[in-house]
Structure 1
Amino acid sequence: MPSSRSAIRPRPASNGDDLRGVNRLTIDAITGVTDLVEAMHANISRLPGVLGTVAAGPAPGIAGFVYRSVRGATRLVGDGLDLAFARAAPLLDVVRPPPQREAMVAAANGVLGDHLDASRNPLAIPMRLRHGGQALTLRRRELAAALPDAGGKILVLVHGLCMNDLQWRYGDHDHGAALARDLGYTPLYLHYNSGRHISVNGREFSRLLEQLLQRWPVPVERLAILGHSMGGLVARSACVAAQQERLDWLAHLDRMIFLGTPHQGAPLERAGSWIDAMIGLSPYTAPFARLGKIRSAGIQDLRHGNVRDEDWEDADADGRADGRQPSPLPPGVRSYAVAASTASAARDDAAVLPKGDGLVPVASALGRHPDRAYDLRMPKTRQHIAYGVNHLELLGDAGVYRQLLRWLG
């Protein structure tokens, strides 16, 4: 059944909630450092070999009592501040949050979003469809009032890691607004916590689209999704969830376009995972591996482009699930991919792919894989390489927009 959370009238950003969220993160950080120091203390006190077994449990004797006391006092102070900020919220909310707040909260969600969500931190971003920076209430009457010019062609734009819906405006250009002007689409922007697992976001996005199409104020002619970076993986995951739950919205999906999406993974996240494994080899450095694992579940999913629960639930030490099955694109949906390359022009040897955009290799962005089972098999006519463009410039590049016009027109 579709989630009922989006049917609740969205609450605006609150300075009081922001302070409570920062306070809780601070308390979590202090207790986390205390845990790390205690783990080091426990390992050193037992004098293991350099590559010995990591000690389990708290530090022994009086030291363990001290660490427990520090954690208890920290949580007590944190709870008191949380209560004080909650009572002061009406006074704090007289001042509107600064415009930079959206970007800062989105970045925090990208790095720590799974923790924010699990700890019910007020900074955790709830998934919403937004238009003009305002959250939409998915009821037919409210949609008609908020979108008086709503048409039958819907375009949903899905942002990437550590970003938000407002950042689709790059300079003076917004792909969604431009496609509304030139092709008559009604653009909606997904706003979500990019630190959660991609499959968790994909499942919630799928149910949100089901609600949207059921309550759209005019007959739906066409649905298209435009995803940037991680947003493309969230869109693919939503399609997988719709197939599993037999939701109707997928039958309306006509086209998906991916801008710099790491379909086959991102090398930088793989490097981070390798460093984690090396640090964890020795009991003397193993506690520091916790710092590397601060990377959110969403970031870790980028290692191999995970789009389903089973891709990460049974992952082995390399991050790839044992026996993981390919996740093809949904049948009947025209899918297109744009890869960015910082190279200034195409090479004479067309068989050699150019370097990527600094974050995503060209082959990964185009869905290509040496194992044909994992290759997304998009026709060459539905692939495009944007030269002299970096990962973020895909949002505002004129050549990329011309390609969008051809594919969506």
Structure 2
Amino acid sequence: MTKPAAKTPLKHLRTSDIRGVAQLAVQATVGVTRIVEGVHQSVWNILGVPGGKRPGQTGGITGLVYKSIHAVTQLLGKGVDSVLVRLQPLLDSAEEAKPGTPQREAVLAALNGVMGDRLLASSNPFAIPMTLRYQGEALNWLALPSMPEVGGKVLLLIHGLCMNDLQWHSEHQGKPVDHGQALASALGYTPVYLRYNSGLHTSQNGRELSAHLEQLATHWPVPIEEFTVVAHSMGGLLIRSAVHYARQENLHWPQHLKNIVFLGVPHHGAPLERAGNRVDVILSSTPYTAPFARLGRLRSAGITDLRYGNVLDEDWHGHDRFQRQSDSRQHLPLPAGVACYSVAATTAAKRSKLADRLIGDGLVPVLSALGQHHDAQRTLVFSKTSQSIAYRTNHMALLSSPEVTRQLLQWLRPTQSV
């Protein structure tokens, strides 16, 4: 009797991951220590014992102990990191050609979605750089591979929060589903996939995507005939931001932009993030729970942008993103001169006011996905024939739905274009 193959979880790791884990461990230790010190001082305050110079800090000998913990943790962290930086080139040489496994890439994508802004700020190797990818490889404009099979119709696929480009390859009832490959086979598109750090502000990613697409338009092996974009979830906010900044800077690539299809995009935000913001406020309301509000403040800028659907710098710049405030976004209409389509999803079997507002696809309400808003001036105008609702479908199932594939084909066939 043969033994089953042993599971080897370490095969998903790279040597550079050691640095990333070490940095996260240091940050976690410092963060937990600050929470403990905050609770400690809250108790002292009740007893009339003065604290340190800043709120949440203890004073006296107790304060010195906490300061020592912080200092030693930071010193050890810097020491470990400096050693690993010197060792990493030697360790990496043996695995330069080793591709990342889908499991590893999925974990990194989730980590970046949750705290990608912090990873980038601390130069953590887990931070994902933005890349345009063709046939699984990042495109290097200074050394493009041989690409004789590409055409002038470029299809850009943009993933959502906590995801990556590999997750466009999905399954439905055991059969593979890939919207990009389906459109390539039927309509002659060349699919290009975006991978990015979804924990950054949407407008930061939008500006960077715009620059990448300008490079693509400049260096693509054949003249660009058209750009078509299929964007899922946060990806739809990202492309709207990118078009805005490209036109502001008079870049050339938007001249080729013909279609954008939005799949489950929270144009006007997602209720879960608004609920998370309320939890922040509640935790901050008492001295005993206030230290734990730090945990909620770990969530990334990308996540807090989903509260109302921020797409511009002005939507977040100069604001405390964890304070509760009303929707103060600048209205950004759908890009002029571009055919825009929207697919919303709902787990319900049919539409109703309750299902549209509260159920939706589990993450994004139907009205938000369709761009509809109670303030008519904020509504994104999709024509009736450019809207579709997938019933009994959740947010992630939009990527694996044959029904969605059929809708994309119907909209994007040349004879059906609007």
TM-score, normalised on structure 2? 0.87
Q: Does 1:233 find its partner at 2:233? A: no
Encode CA deviations 1:316-352: one digit per residue, 9 max, x unaligned.
7434464x321111110111100011123x35x7998
Does the C-alpha gap of structure 1 residues 350 and 310 become closer, same or farther in structure 2, counting only changes over 3 Å?
closer
Q: Distance in 1 between matches of 2:384 and 2:319?
A: 32
Does the C-alpha gap of structure 1 residues 301 and 70 become closer, same or farther in structure 2, counting only changes over 3 Å?
same
Encode CA deviations 1:2-54: one digit per residue, 9 max, x unaligned.
xxxxxxxxxxx9812211011101101101111222222233322289xxxx9
Q: Which moved more, 1:90-99 or 1:63-72?
A: 90-99
Encode CA deviations 1:95-137: one digit per residue, 9 max, x unaligned.
5454411001101000010100111111000000012221111
Q: Which residue of 1 aligns with 2:153?
A: 153
Q: Does 1:245 find its partner at 2:249? A: yes
For 1:46, give the aligned amino acid. Answer: N
Q: Distance in 2 between matches of 1:405 and 1:350?
A: 29
Question: Contact 2:13/2:104 (CA < 8 Å) preserved in 1?
Answer: no
Q: Which moved more, 1:29-38 or 1:188-197?
A: 29-38
Does the C-alpha gap of structure 1 residues 17 and 254 become closer, same or farther in structure 2, counting only changes over 3 Å?
same
User: SS of the residue aligned with 2:82?
Assistant: helix
How far is 1:296 from its partner? 0.7
User: SS of the residue aligned with 1:46?
Assistant: helix
Q: Which moved more, 1:76-85 or 1:102-111?
A: 76-85
Q: Which residue of 2 aligns with 1:64?
A: 63
For 1:318, give the aligned amino acid. Answer: R
Correspondence 1:389-404 to 2 at 5 A = 389-404=393-408
User: SS of the residue aligned with 1:154?
Assistant: strand
Q: Does 1:301 find its partner at 2:305? A: yes
Q: Distance in 2 between matches of 1:283 and 1:55?
A: 14
Q: Which residue of 2 aligns with 1:166?
A: 166
Does the C-alpha gap of structure 1 residues 162 and 36 become closer, same or farther in structure 2, counting only changes over 3 Å?
same
Correspondence 1:177-326 to 2 at 5 A = 177-315=181-319, 317-320=323-326, 322=328, 324-326=329-331
Question: Contact 1:16/1:85 (CA < 8 Å) preserved in 2?
Answer: no
Correspondence 1:33-48 to 2 at 5 A = 33-47=32-46
Correspondence 1:314-353 to 2 at 5 A = 314-315=318-319, 317-320=323-326, 322=328, 324-344=329-349, 346-347=350-351, 353=356
Q: Which moved more, 1:171-180 or 1:103-112?
A: 171-180
Correspondence 1:109-120 to 2 at 5 A = 109-120=112-123
User: SS of the residue aligned with 1:21?
Assistant: helix
Unaligned 5+ segments in structure 2 are: 1-11, 414-418
Q: Which moved more, 1:146-155 or 1:262-271?
A: 146-155
Aligned residue pairs, count? 387
TM-score, normalised on structure 1? 0.89
Q: Distance in 2 between matches of 1:399 and 1:218?
A: 32
Q: Which residue of 2 aligns with 1:362?
A: 366
Correspondence 1:18-29 to 2 at 5 A = 18-29=17-28
Q: Distance in 2 between matches of 1:88 and 1:14?
A: 16
Q: Distance in 1 between matches of 2:257 and 2:194?
A: 16
Unaligned 5+ segments in structure 1 are: 1-12
Identity of aligned residues (%): 53
Question: Contact 1:129/1:191 (CA < 8 Å) preserved in 2?
Answer: yes
Q: Which residue among 125, 128, 132 is the counterpart of 2:128? A: 125
Question: Contact 2:281/2:324 (CA < 8 Å) preserved in 1?
Answer: no
How far is 1:84 from its partner? 3.4
Q: Which residue of 2 aligns with 1:77?
A: 76
Encode CA deviations 1:294-329: one digit per residue, 9 max, x unaligned.
11110111110100111112447434464x321111
How far is 1:387 from its partner? 1.0
Does the C-alpha gap of structure 1 residues 335 and 213 become closer, same or farther in structure 2, counting only changes over 3 Å?
same
Question: Contact 2:160/2:198 (CA < 8 Å) preserved in 1?
Answer: yes
Q: Distance in 1 between matches of 2:61 and 2:372?
A: 58
Question: Contact 1:234/1:307 (CA < 8 Å) preserved in 2?
Answer: yes
Does the C-alpha gap of structure 1 residues 92 and 325 become closer, same or farther in structure 2, counting only changes over 3 Å?
closer
User: SS of the residue aligned with 1:225?
Assistant: strand
Question: Contact 2:345/2:389 (CA < 8 Å) preserved in 1?
Answer: yes
For 2:45, give the aligned amino acid. Answer: R
Does the C-alpha gap of structure 1 residues 48 and 131 become closer, same or farther in structure 2, counting only changes over 3 Å?
farther
Does the C-alpha gap of structure 1 residues 55 and 280 become closer, same or farther in structure 2, counting only changes over 3 Å?
farther
Q: Distance in 2 between matches of 1:91 and 1:22?
A: 16
How far is 1:63 from its partner? 1.3
